Amino acid sequence: MRHQTALEYGEPILADTSSTDAFVEFERVQKSYDGEILVVKDLNLSMPRGEFLTMLGPSGSGKTTTLMMLAGFETATHGDIRLGGISINNIPPHKRGIGMVFQNYALFPHMTVAENLSFPLEVRKMGKSEREAKVKRALDMVQMGDFGGRRPAQLSGGQQQRIALARALVFEAELVLMDEPLGALDKQLREHMQFEIKRIADNLGITVVYVTHDQTEALTMSDRVAVFDDGRIQQLAPPDQLYEAPENSFVAQFIGENNTLEGVIKEISGGRALVELDDGELIDCKPVNVSKPGERTRVSIRPERVEYNKSRLQEGAHTLKAEVLEFIYMGDIFRTRLRVAGNDEFIIKTRNAPDVERLVPGQQIEIGWLPDDCRALDA
């Protein structure tokens, strides 16, 4: 499906703004439902055209509220939301020309699949033949070409999902919002649809804002991920940065599996921090959002970056004593639970390779890591 600007269909607000860098912008946006608690606190976000951005966060973090403000179903209490450089705060949802895929698909049960897809075209007063052509193209795009005459209730969850996607795309919106669209699907189908959605979005060059609480989904699909917590974006970064270089404890904990050790900064110099753990041991870390000695810190290390094979450690790197508590064989990896510096939940993951030693519970080992993988974050 060749992409055209929504302008053709009379959306006054989506003027041609291809010269502007930011397509979607949130500026100091706040939202409160009851006048007492801010659900969204000072949100600033800028998205270029064609980006696939995921809002990830626990429930109640404000991500869905943000999406609804963008769609126009909620009004921002304060701040400005701009689409293509034009403020859309006072534009009703039906004039925003934003496609949306809902969590439960919201396919109209009294219409056939084709009628569902035709609906947005009808309200745009499009001619019959043009409508039919577009509906057919959209259905073919999601590989549902033969299902036009069915009712939504006659389709499986995955098929309904495809139709919901096709309906959000059929009127050629430049911005498509997706509110946990894969939440109701089983794991296998969900993984398949992740790639499908990503492929279609890339082919059409549309801008996507995707809301999910599934971090795997966020990491695999997105160009950038905005991690929400407590009404704020905690970190906005591409998936690899988010995983490898979390900027605070929340992100480190929320994305992927993470080991935490608590301690106090002893000294900071030249991009290195020396941390004294609570049991007195010293380790080298990379300071992230800590600034001065004496500050409490949480040190974060990914389980797959921990080494116990001494030959792989850097010369002079600090090591810690550890006791093996549990060894789980998981096929492709070994997952070992250790007691490190008083923490019983220290996990390491090791690739299953011929030269890797299989640990035994009760075994005493020494572990270490590259200082760059060990990040000193806020306590």
The residues that touch other proteins, with contacts defined as CB under 8 A, are 71-73, 92-100, 102-104, 106, 108-110, 119-120, 123-124, 167-168, 171, 177
Report the nearest approach of other proteins to the CB of residue 47 (Å). 18
User: Least Å distance between CB 282 and other proteins?
Assistant: 55
CB of 14 to other proteins, least distance (A): 12
Contacts of 123 (CB under 8 A, 6+ apart): 94
On whether the CB atoms of residues 66 and 177 are closer than 8 A, the answer is: no
- Tokens for 180, please give them: 């946990």
- Does residue 263 contact residue 278 with C-beta atoms inside 8 Å? yes
Tell me, rounded to whole angstroms, the distance of Cα 164 from its chain centroid.
Answer: 21
Backbone conformation region of residue 172, classed left if phi is above 0, alpha if psi is from -120 to 50, else beta: left
Reported residue count of the chain is 379
- Closest separation in Å from C-beta 92 to other proteins: 8
Of residues 11 and 217, the one with the C-beta less far from other proteins? 11
- Nearest approach in angstroms of CB 84 to other proteins is 17
Q: How far apart are CA 375 and CA 246, in angstroms?
A: 8
- Decide: 124 and 10 in contact? Cβ < 8 Å: yes
Alpha-carbon gap, residue 356 to 361, rounded angstroms: 16
Q: How far is CA 68 from the centre of its chain?
A: 17
Which residue's CB is nearer to other proteins, number 73 or number 329? 73
Shortest separation between residue 141's beta carbon and other proteins, angstroms: 17
Residue closer to other proteins by CB (options 10, 361) is 10
Closest approach of other proteins to the CB of residue 31, in Å:
17
Rank residues 93 and 183 by Cβ distance to other proteins and give the closer one: 93
Closest to 284 in 3D by CA, of 292, 296, 276: 276
Residue 116 or 350: the one with the smaller Cβ distance to other proteins is 116
For 68, the enclosing helix (H) or strand (E) is helix 63-71
Give the tokens for residue 328: 């789980």
Amino acid at site 58: P
User: Are 361 and 327 within 8 A, CB to CB?
Assistant: yes
Using CA atoms, how far apart are residues 242 and 74, in angstroms rounded to an integer?
29
Least separation in angstroms between CB 124 and other proteins: 6
Measured from the CB atom, the residue of 108 and 329 that comes closer to other proteins is 108
Give me the phi and psi of 129, to 5 degrees please.
Answer: -65, -40
Shorter beta-carbon distance to other proteins: residue 95 or 321: 95
Closer residue to other proteins, CB minimum distance, 177 or 273: 177
With beta carbons less than 8 A apart as the criterion, state whether 299 and 262 touch: yes
